[in-house]
């Protein structure tokens, strides 16, 4: 089983076919960055049309059982998530609505402070806000997973402790391996995993040691060390693959509507676009390289199967439904 914890590709029939060639059974797709509720609904509509156009390649995913159906019919199950809480605007009632529409993950922040928590680019981390505490409770109730991939340290630790259900960092790497602002320090990963949560390893070059020149061995050795520290059962892949996106999309991702300036983030000011991918992972057909790499660094088959998809499957099964009371 192969499950990717996050992608933001420029979706097309070509990529849908590559998902099948790579044996990707399910993928968490970013359906909103800075969109408001109405704009997000239009993105759901766009995906509904793709499901109609390519029913032999993809299907909508809402529950873990949909992955079983996708595997049975040789398709990829598409699960939706937000990289920002903007789709719920300032209305906690929209949490249940977006879950009903099919959303299964929502980040409490992107890089900046939100109404819910602090993003990783802010100089001061004030933690989860009053509204954030209420939204976490509502997300727990309906089965919308708290994602803290772009959140600051204190906010992430507080969210892990406040949430009555495990949270996720769907796409990041350990800060000690690659000290990017977006990568997670030991205390953060420990808080997430000790509360039953998941960390998805990213192959986005700015989050890799040596960036685009990162080797497969270095990446897989990092995964093995992380498994030794926190338990392999809490780990998965979250590639953050942005395949075929024009460089202008980086500006949308980082700037949204909050500034008139260009926010270069962790990229070079001379090259604000997408960096080249490492040579061992260019698209969805390359998941086998990661699997082989994990085997070459000494991980056993159960650990590899979990990291490549089994752990995400279990997490989906336990956290997408309404909470039993």
Residue 132 and residue 117 in contact, taking contact as beta carbons nearer than 8 Å: yes
- Residues 186-205 have a mean pLDDT of 98
Q: SS3 breakdown of the chain: % helix, strand, coil, rounded to 5?
A: 45, 15, 40
Answer yes or no: are the C-beta atoms of 136 and 162 closer than 8 Å.
Answer: yes
d(CA 164, CA 130): 16
Q: Which two tokens stand for residue 68?
A: 């079983």
Q: Please count the other Cβ atoms lying within 10 Å of the Cβ belonging to residue 319.
A: 24
**Start-to-end CA span in the chain (Å):** 32
Query: What angle do helix axes 186-194 and 153-162 make, rounded to 10 degrees?
Result: 10
Q: Which residues pair with 235 in a beta bridge?
A: 199
Of residues 201, 191, 187, 278, the one with CA closest to residue 232: 201
Residues 153-193 pLDDT 10s: 999 999 999 999 999 999 999 999 999 999 999 999 999 99
* Structure confidence by residue, pLDDT tens digits, 244-271: 999 888 888 888 888 888 777 765 555 5
291 has a pLDDT exceeding 60: yes
Span 212-237, pLDDT tens digits: 999 999 999 999 999 999 999 999 99
Q: Which two tokens stand for residue 28?
A: 């968490």
On the question of pLDDT at 30 being above 80, the answer is yes
Could you report the per-residue pLDDT of 92-127, keeping only the tens digit for each? Answer: 999 999 999 999 999 999 999 999 999 999 999 999
> Of 18, 125, 38, which is closest to residue 86 (Cα–Cα)?
38
User: What domains can be seen in the chain, in order of their start residue?
Assistant: 3-319 (3.20.20.140)
Confidence at 273, pLDDT banded by 50, 70, 90: confident
pLDDT for position 248: 86
- Residue 123 neighbours by CB under 8 Å, 6+ apart: none
Q: How confident is the model at residue 274 (pLDDT cuts 50, 70, 90)?
A: confident
DSSP state of 309: I
Amino acid 271: pLDDT: 58
CB 12 within 8 A of CB 320: no
Confidence of residue 59 (pLDDT cuts 50, 70, 90): very high
């Amino acid at each position: 089983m192969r499950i990717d914890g996050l992608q933001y590709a420029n979706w097309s029939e070509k990529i849908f076919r590559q998902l099948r060639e790579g044996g990707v059974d399910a993928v968490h797709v970013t359906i909103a960055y800075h969109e408001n509720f109405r704009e997000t609904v239009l993105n759901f509509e766009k995906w509904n049309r793709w499901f109609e156009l390519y029913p032999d390649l993809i299907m909508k995913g809402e529950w873990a059982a949909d992955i079983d159906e996708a595997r049975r019919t040789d398709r990829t199950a598409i699960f939706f998530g937000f990289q920002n809480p903007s789709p719920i605007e300032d209305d906690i009632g929209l949490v249940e609505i977006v879950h009903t529409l099919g959303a299964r993950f929502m980040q409490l922040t992107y890089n900046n402070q939100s109404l819910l928590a602090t993003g990783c680019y802010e100089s001061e981390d004030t933690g989860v806000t009053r509204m954030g505490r209420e939204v976490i409770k509502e997300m727990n109730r309906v089965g919308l997973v708290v994602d803290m991939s772009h959140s600051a340290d204190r906010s992430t630790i507080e969210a892990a402790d406040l949430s009555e259900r495990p949270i996720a960092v769907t796409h990041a790497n350990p800060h000690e391996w690659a000290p990017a602002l977006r990568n997670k320090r030991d205390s953060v990963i420990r808080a997430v995993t000790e509360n039953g949560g998941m960390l998805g390893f990213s192959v986005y070059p700015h989050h890799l040691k040596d960036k685009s020149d990162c080797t497969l061995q270095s990446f897989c050795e990092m995964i093995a060390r992380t498994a030794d520290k926190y338990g392999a059962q809490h780990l998965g892949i979250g590639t953050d693959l942005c395949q075929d996106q024009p460089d202008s999309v980086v500006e949308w991702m980082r700037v949204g509507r909050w500034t008139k300036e260009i926010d270069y983030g962790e990229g070079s000011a001379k090259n604000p676009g997408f960096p080249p991918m490492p040579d061992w992972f260019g698209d969805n057909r390359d998941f086998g390289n990661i699997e082989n790499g994990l085997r070459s660094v000494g991980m056993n088959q159960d650990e590899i199967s979990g990291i490549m998809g089994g752990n995400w499957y279990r997490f989906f099964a336990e956290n997408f439904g309404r909470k039993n009371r």
